[in-house]
C-alpha cells in the first residue's frame, strides 16, 4: 500500500509573494525544513538576500540524493520550481540564451537542438525520462560534477553564464570561471545562475560519452566537439578526466591548422588520429571505482578521434 501523503502546513513569506511550505512528518528527510516557493526571480533573489544560507533546489535530482544520504541537511530550502522566468530559451542575435531552470527534456526541443546540437546530444544521455523531465541545466552547473554531461559542451562552446543576486545585480562570466573545481563553483553567497549563453551552431557539433552501460549512467569519459566553419575554429572539451572539463587550446590550434576548411573533408586520417592522441595526452584522469586512469585515457583517444571524424565527415 502506498504510504500516506504527508500533511503540509502552508503560509506566506513576510513580503507575501512567496509561499512557504512546512512539511510535516512523514515526508522524508526534509521534514520540518521550511521551503520557500517564490514565483518570480526577484522573489527568489530577495529571499536569498534575506537568508544566504538557504539551499537552492531546482529539480532536486542531485540535492535530494545528498539529503537522502545525509550528506546535506538544509536548514531552509529555496525552490526555483515556480520561477517561470528561469525556464525556456530564446535566440539573441548569434547566441542562444537558455534559462537555468530549463530541463533536459526542454533541451531536446527540436528547435533548440538544431541551434545547439551538442547540448541536445548530451541531454539525451542524461539519466532516465524522469531525471530528464526534472533535472535542469542550472542544477548541472550548480553541482559542478566533473562528470556532469552538459559541462564539456558548455566548455567546448565557450559558454557565458548569467548570474544574479539582489546585492550585486547581474553579471556574466565564462563557464570556466564559474566551474572551478570538482563540485566547486565561484557563485557568491546569495547568487543564482539565471541563464547560459552559447553561440548558435555554425558547423557540426558532437557529444560522445562512455559509461558502464548505455543508459542511466554517469560518464567514465565524455567528449564534446564544436566546429565553427565561419570563424574556422574547433572547440573540444573532455568530461570526467580532470577536476573540471579539460580543454587544450594548443591541441585545438593544431587540428584547426590541419583541417581542409575549403574542401570540408578530413584531409588525412592521421589528423583525426593525431587529434585523439593529443587530447588523450591533455587529459588528467584518475583511477577510481568507475575506471582506471589508463582506460579513461584510451577512451579519450577513441572519443576525440571519433568526434572529429563524425563532425568532419558529416559535412
Ligand atoms: C538517477 C540519476 C541519474 C542521473 N544521471 C545523470 C547523467 O546521466 N548525467 C548528468 O550530468 N547528471 C546526472 N544526474 C545528476 C543530475 O540529474 C543533474 O546534475 C541535474 O542537472 C541536476 O539538476 P537539478 O535541477 O535536479 O539540480 P538540483 O538537485 O536541484 O541542484 C543541484 C545543485 O545546484 C544548485 N542549483 C540548482 N539550480 C541553481 C541555480 N539556478 N543557481 C545556483 N545554484 C543552483 C543546488 O543548490 C544544488 O547545489 C543524475 C541524477 C540521478 C538521481
Residue from 48, 51, 56 to probe ligand 1 pocket by mutation (most atoms less than 8 Å from CB): 56
Tell me the C-alpha to C-alpha distance, in Å, between residue 161 and each of 14, 41, 170, 177.
Answer: 31, 16, 10, 9
**Nearest C-alpha to atom 18 of ligand 1 is from which residue?**
140
Q: Which residue has the higher pLDDT, 2 or 224?
A: 224
Q: What b/e string do you get for 157-187 counting C-beta neighbours within 10 Å, with b at 16 or more?
A: bbbbbbbbbbeeeeeebebbebbeeeeebeb
- Mean of the pLDDT values across residues 274-290? 96
Give yes or no for a cis peptide into 182 (omega within 30° of 0). Answer: no
Cβ(199)–Cβ(167) under 8 Å? Answer: no
What is the structure's pLDDT at 26?
A: 41
Tell me the C-alpha to C-alpha distance, in Å, between residue 62 and each of 48, 122, 210.
Answer: 20, 17, 21
Q: Which CATH number fits domain 86-199: 3.30.870.10, 3.30.465.10, 2.40.50.100, 3.40.1080.10?
A: 3.30.465.10
One fold for 8-79 and 86-199: no
Q: Give the Cβ contact number of residue 78 at 10 Å.
A: 24
Q: Report the separation in Å between the CA atom of 56 and the middle of ligand 1, taken as the mean of its atom positions.
A: 11
Q: Report the separation in Å between the CA atom of 225 and the middle of ligand 1, taken as the mean of its atom positions.
A: 23
Q: Report the separation in Å between the CA atom of 200 and the middle of ligand 1, taken as the mean of its atom positions.
A: 25
Does 59 contact ligand 1 (Cβ within 6 A)? yes
Q: Give the Cβ contact number of residue 292 at 10 Å.
A: 13
Cα–Cα distance measured from residue 61 to residue 59, given in angstroms and rounded to the nearest whole number = 6
Q: Is the pLDDT of residue 24 over 90?
A: no
Residues 6+ apart with CB under 8 A from 180: 144, 186, 244
Q: Which residue has the higher pLDDT, 142 or 15?
A: 142
Q: Among all chains, which residue has been given the C-alpha cell 537558455?
A: 98
Q: Report the separation in Å between the CA atom of 144 and the middle of ligand 1, taken as the mean of its atom positions.
A: 9
List, edge to edge, every strand of the sheet that includes 18-23. Answer: 8-12, 18-23, 35-38, 77-79, 55-57
Q: What b/e string do you get for 200-225 counting C-beta neighbours within 10 Å, with b at 16 or more?
A: ebebbbbbbbbbeeeeebbbbbbbbb
Q: Is the pLDDT of residue 10 over 90?
A: no
Tell me the C-alpha to C-alpha distance, in Å, between residue 92 and each of 115, 170, 239, 295.
Answer: 12, 17, 28, 41
Residue ranges of the domains in the chain?
Answer: 8-79, 86-199, 205-313
Cβ(36)–Cβ(78) under 8 Å? Answer: yes
**Nearest C-alpha to atom 52 of ligand 1 is from which residue?**
61
CA dihedral 55, 87, 119, 65 (to 10 degrees): 30
Does 62 contact ligand 1 (Cβ within 6 A)? yes
List, edge to edge, every strand of the sheet that includes 205-210. Answer: 205-210, 221-228, 233-239
What is the structure's pLDDT at 15?
A: 53
Task: Give the nearest ligand 1 atom to 55 CA.
Answer: 47
User: pLDDT, tens digit, for every residue of 162-215?
Assistant: 999 999 999 999 999 999 999 999 999 999 999 999 999 999 999 999 998 888
Banded pLDDT at 265 (limits 50, 70, 90): confident
- Mean of the pLDDT values across residues 74-101? 97
> Among the residues of 173-236, which ranges form H helices?
175-178
- Mean of the pLDDT values across residues 24-42? 80
pTM comes to 0.92
Does 55 contact ligand 1 (Cβ within 6 A)? yes
- Mean of the pLDDT values across residues 91-99? 97
What is the CATH number assigned to the segment(s) 205-313? 3.30.390.50
Q: Is the pLDDT of residue 19 over 50?
A: yes
| Whether CATH 3.30.43 fits 8-79 | yes
Does 191 contact ligand 1 (Cβ within 6 A)? no
Does 152 contact ligand 1 (Cβ within 6 A)? no
What is the structure's pLDDT at 29?
A: 77
Cα–Cα distance measured from residue 90 to residue 77, given in angstroms and rounded to the nearest whole number = 29
Task: Give the nearest ligand 1 atom to 217 CA.
Answer: 8
Cα–Cα distance measured from residue 119 to residue 156, given in angstroms and rounded to the nearest whole number = 11
Q: Report the separation in Å between the CA atom of 124 and the middle of ligand 1, taken as the mean of its atom positions.
A: 15
Residues paired with 179 in a beta bridge: 185
Amino acid at each position: 500500500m502506498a504510504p500516506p501523503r504527508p500533511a503540509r502546513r502552508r503560509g506566506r513569506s513576510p513580503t507575501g509573494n512567496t509561499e512557504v511550505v512546512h512539511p510535516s512528518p512523514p515526508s522524508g528527510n526534509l521534514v520540518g525544513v521550511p521551503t520557500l516557493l517564490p514565483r518570480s526571480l526577484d522573489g527568489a533573489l530577495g529571499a536569498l538576500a534575506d537568508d544566504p544560507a538557504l539551499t537552492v533546489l531546482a529539480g532536486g535530482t542531485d540535492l535530494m540524493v545528498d539529503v537522502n544520504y545525509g550528506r546535506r541537511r538544509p536548514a531552509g530550502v529555496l525552490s526555483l520550481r515556480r520561477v517561470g522566468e528561469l525556464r525556456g530559451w530564446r535566440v539573441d542575435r548569434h547566441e542562444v540564451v537558455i534559462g537555468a531552470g530549463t530541463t533536459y527534456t526542454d533541451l531536446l526541443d527540436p528547435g533548440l537542438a538544431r541551434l545547439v546540437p551538442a547540448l541536445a546530444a548530451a541531454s539525451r544521455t542524461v539519466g532516465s525520462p524522469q531525471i530528464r523531465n526534472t533535472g535542469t541545466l542550472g542544477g548541472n552547473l550548480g553541482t559542478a560534477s566533473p562528470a556532469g554531461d552538459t559541462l564539456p559542451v558548455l566548455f567546448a562552446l565557450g559558454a557565458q553564464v548569467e548570474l544574479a543576486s539582489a546585492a550585486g545585480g547581474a553579471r556574466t562570466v565564462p563557464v570556466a570561471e564559474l566551474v572551478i573545481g570538482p563540485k566547486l563553483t565561484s557563485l557568491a553567497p546569495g547568487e543564482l545562475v539565471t541563464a547560459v549563453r552559447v553561440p548558435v551552431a555554425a558547423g557540426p557539433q558532437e557529444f560522445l560519452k562512455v559509461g558502464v552501460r548505455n543508459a542511466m549512467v554517469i560518464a567514465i569519459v565524455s567528449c564534446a566537439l564544436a566546429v565553427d566553419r565561419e570563424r574556422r575554429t574547433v572547440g573540444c572539451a573532455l568530461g570526467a578526466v580532470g577536476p573540471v572539463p579539460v580543454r587544450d587550446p594548443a591541441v585545438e590550434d593544431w587540428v584547426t591548422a590541419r583541417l581542409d576548411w575549403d574542401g570540408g573533408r578530413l584531409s588525412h586520417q592521421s589528423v583525426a588520429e593525431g587529434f585523439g592522441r593529443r587530447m588523450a595526452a591533455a587529459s588528467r584522469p584518475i583511477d577510481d571505482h568507475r575506471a582506471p586512469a589508463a582506460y579513461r585515457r584510451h577512451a579519450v583517444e577513441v572519443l576525440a578521434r571519433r568526434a572529429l571524424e563524425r563532425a568532419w565527415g558529416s559535412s
